[in-house]
Amino acid sequence: MSKEEPAPELGIGMVGYAFMGAAHSQGWRTAGRVFDLPLRPRMAAVCGRDREQVDAAAARLGWGAAETDWRALIARDDIQLVDICTPGDSHAEIAIAALEAGKHVLCEKPLANTVAEAEAMVEAARAAAARGQIAMVGFNYRRVPALAYARQLVEEGKLGALRHVRVQYLQDWITDPEFPLVWRLQKEHAGSGALGDLGAHIVDLAQHLAGEPLVGVSAMTETFVKERPLPAASSGLAASGGTGRGPVTVDDAALFTGRLASGALASFEVSRFAAGRKNALSIELNGEHGSIAFELERLNELSYHDHTEPAVSAGFRRILVTEPEHPYLAAWWPPGHGLGYEHTFVHQARDLVHAIASGEQPSPSFEEGLQVQRVLSAVEESAAKNSVYTHVA
């Protein structure tokens, strides 16, 4: 009895192996075991600068080999897709080099640290698309089944004309003023602070769910702790036993309002100083015919209000998004058995593999990543203009 021919392999090379690298690895390890994929992801090699640490990461995360130079990883013949999980200051260089080398690219959000870098990445992606290559940005929250279902409801016209979008993304991991000056708190590496890290997610999500772009913003940002202890391991102070502090050069929190292309109003809040909030992303859309609301910390649920029903019985109702008819869920567990954060990366890998096999450019594209970058840049520009306050007695 002949066996069915296995699907062709897709060699993956990943640059970076910390938090996002571990999450992406989970996606690549799992996608082909859950979904029927047209290509078989093979975790060929992972790259990091420290030989001992990257070797350990390769063994722990399931990669076949380790490299210490991303250029060597890109040059490998057994790699067709380069997955970029590094700080934002290296995204453009690695992505452009990978695309020019004929590789497909997945790049973590935000796409870059500046609009100019993002524009260069888009140009490289356009040239690569003409050669049949794929480039995608890793906005993984689009792959939460409840949010994918929310997008379907909007597309079906369940909300009617959109009136409001309000979004928050709140964390508290740097409320301690003695938390060290890690790379995420340095503009040269991160581009911006809570704005780029958290704001990129909710700007993309708001535009994606609404199905239209932001066309204007007005903003304020603040850095609450101006200096922090230098990490001993990276500052060279550990050997001498010395201590030191360095300036925080990014925002700790940002507030901004916006207007969507249709005229709908939007409000955004991001903070790393919201004590008690761990990963609290929430979004609500209000339209003429109804509303939808979602909280990431209850990610298997979507709240929906049908405003066309009689007021005497109408109200928000809880939809448990675990049915096989809901996005992605036919491949998982019986109804009521919820999914978690890590599944968004499995779904991301699944969608990207299908795009590569079909030759269709996926979403979010580098162009969509550039749009988010332009919004973030406009927020920073507006916040700089609004930094001088008028005293109100």
263 contact partners, CB below 8 Å, separation of at least 6: none
Per-domain residue ranges for the chain? 9-140, 145-298+300-339
Class of the domain covering 145-298+300-339: alpha beta
Mean pLDDT, rounded, for 63-92: 98
Check for a shared fold between 9-140 and 145-298+300-339: no
Please report, in angstroms and rounded to a whole number, the separation of the first and last CA atoms in the chain: 87
pLDDT of residue 240: 37
Tokens 């708001």 -> residue: 206
Which two tokens mark 104?
């497909």
| Three-class SS state of 158 | coil
* pLDDT for the residue numbered 6: 87
CB 274 within 8 A of CB 284: no
- Are 193 and 179 in contact by the 8 Å Cβ rule? The answer is no
Flag whether the pTM goes above 0.85: yes
Residue percentage of the chain with pLDDT more than 90: 93
Helices 91-100 and 115-129, axial angle in degrees (round to 10): 10
DSSP string, 309-320: S-TTT---EEEE
Tokens at 57, concatenated: 């990461």
Q: What is the percent of the chain where pLDDT is above 70?
A: 95
**Rounded to whole angstroms, how far apart are CA atoms 118 and 264?**
27
Q: What is the mean pLDDT of the chain?
A: 94
What residue spans of the chain are helical by DSSP H? 19-34, 51-61, 70-75, 91-100, 115-129, 145-155, 187-190, 194, 200-210, 232-235, 237-240, 343-358, 366-385
Are 167 and 214 in contact by the 8 Å Cβ rule? The answer is no
CATH class (in words) of the domain with range 9-140: alpha beta
Give the mean model confidence (pLDDT) for residues 189-213: 96
316-332 residue pLDDT tens? 999 999 999 999 999 99
In angstroms, what CA-CA distances link 72 with 69, 202, 229?
5, 35, 35
> Where does the pLDDT of residue 238 fall: very low under 50, low under 70, confident under 90, or very high at 90 and above?
very low
